[in-house]
Amino acid sequence: MKTIGIIGGGQLGLMIAEEARRLGVRTVALDPAPDAPAFAVCDERIVAPYDDAAALEELCRRSDAVTYEFENVPGGVLVPLAEKYNIPQGFRPLYDSQDRLREKENAWAHGFETPAYAAVDDEAGLRRAVAQLGYPCVLKTRTLGYDGHGQAVLRSEADLDKALPLLAVPCILEAFVDFDYEASLVMVADGERVVTFPVGRNVHRDGILDLCFVPAEGLSPELTARMRATGEAFMRACGYTGILAVELFVKGDRFWFNEMAPRPHNSGHWTIEGCSTNQYRELVRYLTGEPLEEPRQTAPAVMKNILGRDLEAARAIAAEGGDGVHVHLYGKSESRPLRKMGHITFTDMTAEKYAARWAERFEQ
């Protein structure tokens, strides 16, 4: 029986382990938290910091293949391990995603349109970049930003002073895209083919994904085909294999690259119940050398992210049961208002039905 090693024991690691178990594959996860969600499902656990070289090497020794469930794995530790052990995705997609400037340059060089951008290292550089790109624009730290953290929207010169603390680290300034909505491409490649999941429409709240609607209302078959073709060509041109999620800004019939993640994605949770296969299963197949399956949507779906502020509502909905209501709670020991605690996928559901039947159950 094969064993997959997972660097990270959060909810993504949990769902990788659940799919691996369904496919008869063992898992071992490494996480610094003794109560990490994935440990409830994994066959083995290693409790250690992500930068513990000896612990990571032990994870690799116990595994036939190793993956990572988040982007901020320390590269200095992972690179030498990738040379000795089977880490199929390698370090390159992780490296490219860890710096927003490098990420944008890479996307532009390999076929995606991006918002105009400029590197910013100090206040003088910020003022030059603002003069070049104009208002509104978005200042972001180049590394470690997520879920709306590490960024500020600048709409006028009055916003410059409050953005200056971000310049404690290198930043990137991006032109603001007046988009209609955001969408995600989730792809898995094995070197021979790329399979792509149906594109969803994402709704964010407080910088965190709140809802995903699939299929995306207003997304034409022609635009979907161009998104898929661009994403698949990007993976091939970059030499990426494994799983990759690309977030896009969409305006009319145009789309722009926003950011990418070489791991399962929050916006792909709906695939567990709404698709013929799901993002976790295809990642496991890739890691174990099994042929990939082309995903096919089996029902219209709405995915609701459950943060701490909606945890009690989600528990009540889980207790009620009901057809087409799939509640996933991650088993995290500490709940905070903006912490991701679970998700609910509603199948045979449209945006209109969701608004009428379910929206009021959650904090508005």
Residue with tokens 């997304």: 219
Instruction: State the amino acid at position 124 in one-letter form.
Output: A
Statement to judge: residues 170 and 185 lie in one domain:
no
* pLDDT at 72 (0 to 100): 78
Statement to judge: residues 287 and 315 lie in one domain:
yes
Count: domains in the chain: 3
Residue 81 lies in a domain: yes
Task: Give 181's strand partners.
Answer: 250
Integer Cα distance of 171 and 169 in angstroms? 6
Whether residue 147 has pLDDT greater than 80: no
Statement to judge: residues 232 and 266 lie in one domain:
yes
Nearest C-alpha neighbor of 118 from the set 97, 142, 136, 95: 142
Residue 102 lies in a domain: no
Statement to judge: residues 229 and 351 lie in one domain:
yes
Statement to judge: residues 192 and 336 lie in one domain:
yes
Instruction: For 203-245, write each residue's pLDDT tens digit.
Output: 999 889 999 999 998 899 999 999 999 999 999 999 999 999 9
Statement to judge: residues 203 and 125 lie in one domain:
no
DSSP three-state, residue 232: helix
Statement to judge: residues 230 and 155 lie in one domain:
no
Copy the structure tokens of residue 31: 């996480």
Residue 104 lies in a domain: no
Instruction: State the amino acid at position 16 in one-letter form.
Output: I
Statement to judge: residues 164 and 218 lie in one domain:
no
* pLDDT at 73 (0 to 100): 83
Taking residues 58-70, what's their average pLDDT? 96
Statement to judge: residues 226 and 342 lie in one domain:
yes
Residue 110 lies in a domain: no
> In residues, how long is the chain?
364
Residue 187 lies in a domain: yes
Residue 96 lies in a domain: no
**245 within 8 A of 267, measured Cβ to Cβ:** yes
Statement to judge: residues 304 and 164 lie in one domain:
no
Residue 98 lies in a domain: no
Statement to judge: residues 37 and 156 lie in one domain:
no
Copy the structure tokens of residue 291: 């042929």
Q: What percent of the chain has pLDDT over 70?
A: 99
CATH number of the structural domain spanning residue 41: 3.40.50.20
Which domain, by its residues, includes 62?
3-87
Statement to judge: residues 266 and 154 lie in one domain:
no
Instruction: For 282-303, write each residue's pLDDT tens digit.
Output: 999 999 999 999 999 999 999 9
Please state, rounded to an integer, the average pLDDT across all residues of the chain: 95
Around Cβ 116, how many Cβ atoms within 10 Å? 16
* Strand 26-31 relative to strand 44-47, pairing: parallel
Integer Cα distance of 243 and 261 in angstroms? 8
Instruction: For 162-212, write each residue's pLDDT tens digit.
Output: 899 999 999 999 999 999 999 999 999 999 999 999 999 999 998 899 999
Taking residues 324-338, what's their average pLDDT? 97
Taking residues 244-257, what's their average pLDDT? 97
* pLDDT at 146 (0 to 100): 63
* pLDDT at 293 (0 to 100): 98
